Structure 1
């Protein structure tokens, strides 16, 4: 309980001691019960303005736990006699922080109706309300108003305009505001970079990045570009940019490192990822839940499942994504029993599973042949854990049951689904039919796949194998003719191999180049290369 002996202590107390909204309520109660609102209007206004300002500061904090009514700040504001521009700005901001943008915009309209002068802080707050409303027309109106009143050249106004247009998907309008802005800071560049990346225009983002003065770039700038390359699957460029970052001595943050680890995982760059991990440990960077997730995912995808477990077990900051990365990693490596143990531990720690969790669990059960466990968990998804079954979950179950030879059970499940099966559902059934030689059901599954995805070449190859194994040569000839008549081609398989820290890629039918001769000989058991610990078949 906060108590102030003298009224002059109240404002200072608000600024220095208030750590929660509840404490603001306590001070507000003291203002009322001690009759301070009957003081000189200017003194009462200063007290109430301080209440509002502190209220906003607490709402802006990263973690707030106390539920707040949007009516409270407005009730305080209505008590202020002749509120100043600062008061109006503060109450507008309160409603953006409370995610009540309609009220924020209404208050701004009332402010203009009363001819209260605006300042450079008014428009950024109003533009945040426009961003929450996702209203392009309102944004253009505010842009015109700020131009008329002479605030369009203010860097904060411009930055918020760029952000709103990016948020509304109007990247051309955003860039126009950015390009015409007379003053730019690091936020200006970061906002437009993020806008281009979210719009999928990575080339435009790189152009802005290259034009940006090196001295202006901060960790967020580099992190945004690295994340953009990782999200658009341009992993080579992501790693090249990271190397450039190292040369320039730019401090790395968690966002940058997560993106680089993601690129390493996708490309199988084990040594590069290990270097990143070493850098994290030697730099004293805190491994938060996101960085832990990236490390677990990286090591699992690169085949180092025990190292992934070590990182996971050492972390005290695990969230749902971290658990999912561990479960999916164990599923990939066929550790079904261990995966179920981790799942039980996850539930005990009160982490609520989601669809990805069950996808990993079902895949792990499928690889380990744990049919009964998969049946039980699949049945409990909705009733016990409140997770809706999606097509991908049905696909896993179809694959698991069919692999186990339970073809009829798989067919019954597919036919009872509340939605139509997709390629993965019928494909899982088809794979099981090939394994167990069930030609009749395989033909039914193949028919569905051809109807859904006629360009899928894999189904023709699978049916050709099934007919060949059953010695049904006429049907084998028919399926091949059908494939040729539809001009369907199966995509060539791609292989990656890492030798001496260098990743090489080739597909079936490639001509051998001089640098790939050794790879070819090694794969065919002819070469003399001795595999080293850093070499990987990916």
Structure 2
């Protein structure tokens, strides 16, 4: 009884291990090994915040292996739950533990299947999930609400919406808020925003996850105004936004250039969060960078000690887009020094930085190292950045050579960069004609191509070609854009 009280007061791994030491030195562990070690393992899974994997997992595994009943279903469930909690991005150990449970002919219970299905959902392994579904039917747990919700989440995550809908719409069994949230997430992930919205509107009761899921769906689909409107409604309905909802609202502010709205959300975070999570830090840096406040973004980054690949990418890309090419490259060097592996977005930011600052040789070296040194696949957008860089530097012939050697067809960005560079650097009419032709093949409705090629012909004094293009523009009713300016006055534009 006293030991149970001691465990309830354990709020950290250090205190839990101290309680373990007390139990060992007093002999309780040797008298009741199964009860004591199981209680320690269970308390470990309930610690908040959870200790890092490097500390929690070795301790949990030592408890598990010393348990006399380490062949029990409960012990397996506790260890599976811990693995899924501390290393959510690596669900394979949890699945291996479930397999061990079955190899030992232990009966899984109603807690085992939601955990196994959750691991399958994170792996996006539909056949494996179906196998677990079949076993839940065999053991008679498929009608359990927790198992059904895990199944809806599995099929939604694996883009098997008909299966998720069948479970959700089964009138013989109850559903709850979690069921709705799982299917809404599935619809949003599949791009079926209207279905997600209809299901959200049907809910008689909602929670913070319901709102957060829809806010994410609106933000990812580009409906940023709706995302921010729902974010406001969420708070007016008395729900506290979680980090996912806050990060999505910041993303919508960034895409809409709503600096004041983003600052208001930042103030809310300051008032309601003791610590700034990595996801919120990244969202704030991205928002301030895209809204023109790169210095605030830089200060936030420099003041933080907790960063991930997305945080580094936000500051590298943000600096590049604001023309701070040298500084962007400096942060790329700091990222590598911190042993954070760059990805495709990182290199996109680095190449943009080089392009805007004219660092041709640096860009060439980084581009060549992407696959050879870092193992990052070169995508079309990276070729587009190189085409833009060569074009800005007047190296149009080299840009064309690169495009010819590309393993994929050029898109509008690639050929648009070539055409724009021909406008900046006269004397490349033939290349401009090729680029214009390619752009019109990609998008015949891109009438801006005619205006650019007409200017290039005019610069080359090829007046007959200018007239020919003007006749085409008149025939398809292309109007030359009239220039205008915006003047900001207090309260007006």
TM-score class normalised by the smaller sequence: 0.7 to 0.9
**1:257 Cα deviation (Å)?**
1.4
TM-score (norm 2): 0.77
| 1:444 matched residue in structure 2 | 434
Q: Distance in 1 between matches of 2:389 and 2:75?
A: 64
| 1:531 matched residue in structure 2 | 489
1:321 aligns with one of 295, 306, 310:
310
Alignment of 1:112-511 (within 5 A): 119-128=109-118, 131=121, 132=123, 133-135=125-127, 137-138=130-131, 141-142=134-135, 144-145=137-138, 149=140, 151-179=141-169, 180=171, 182-214=173-205, 216-218=206-208, 220-383=209-372, 385-437=374-426, 438-479=428-469
Quick one: structure 1 residues 531 and 308, their matched pair in 2 at CA, closer, same or farther if it must change by over 3 Å?
farther
| 1:497 matched residue in structure 2 | none
Quick one: structure 1 residues 203 and 287, their matched pair in 2 at CA, closer, same or farther if it must change by over 3 Å?
same
Q: Distance in 1 between matches of 2:65 and 2:338?
A: 42
Residue 63 in structure 1 maps to residue 21 in structure 2: no
**1:355 Cα deviation (Å)?**
2.1
TM-score (norm 1): 0.72
Quick one: structure 1 residues 284 and 106, their matched pair in 2 at CA, closer, same or farther if it must change by over 3 Å?
closer
Q: Distance in 2 between matches of 1:120 and 1:449?
A: 58
Residue 342 of structure 2 contacts residue 374 of structure 2 at CA under 8 Å; is this kept in 1? Answer: yes
| Structure 1, gaps ≥5 residues long | 1-8, 494-507, 510-519
Residue 387 of structure 2 contacts residue 414 of structure 2 at CA under 8 Å; is this kept in 1? Answer: yes
Quick one: structure 1 residues 189 and 62, their matched pair in 2 at CA, closer, same or farther if it must change by over 3 Å?
farther
Q: Distance in 2 between matches of 1:45 and 1:339?
A: 56
In our comparison, the structure showing a higher alpha carbon Rg is: 1
Residue 116 of structure 2 contacts residue 132 of structure 2 at CA under 8 Å; is this kept in 1? Answer: no
Q: Distance in 1 between matches of 2:295 and 2:492?
A: 18
1:400-459 C-alpha deviation (Å, 9 max, x unpaired): 222222222323333344544333223212211111121022123333334444444333
1:357-393 C-alpha deviation (Å, 9 max, x unpaired): 2222222232233334434443444455554433222
Quick one: structure 1 residues 108 and 168, their matched pair in 2 at CA, closer, same or farther if it must change by over 3 Å?
farther
Residue 382 of structure 1 contacts residue 388 of structure 1 at CA under 8 Å; is this kept in 2? Answer: yes
Comparing 289-298 and 306-315, the one that deviates more: 306-315
Q: Distance in 2 between matches of 1:263 and 1:17?
A: 37
Q: Distance in 2 between matches of 1:95 and 1:280?
A: 30
Residue 228 of structure 2 contacts residue 249 of structure 2 at CA under 8 Å; is this kept in 1? Answer: yes
Count how many residue pairs are aligned between Structure 1 and Structure 2: 475
Residue 133 of structure 2 contacts residue 151 of structure 2 at CA under 8 Å; is this kept in 1? Answer: no
Q: Distance in 2 between matches of 1:106 and 1:50?
A: 23
Q: Distance in 2 between matches of 1:343 and 1:226?
A: 32
Quick one: structure 1 residues 340 and 123, their matched pair in 2 at CA, closer, same or farther if it must change by over 3 Å?
closer
Q: Distance in 1 between matches of 2:334 and 2:76?
A: 51
Quick one: structure 1 residues 302 and 56, their matched pair in 2 at CA, closer, same or farther if it must change by over 3 Å?
closer
**1:240 Cα deviation (Å)?**
0.9
User: What is the root-mean-square deviation of aligned Cα atoms in Å?
Assistant: 4.6
**1:341 Cα deviation (Å)?**
3.1
Residue 113 of structure 2 contacts residue 132 of structure 2 at CA under 8 Å; is this kept in 1? Answer: no
Quick one: structure 1 residues 91 and 316, their matched pair in 2 at CA, closer, same or farther if it must change by over 3 Å?
closer
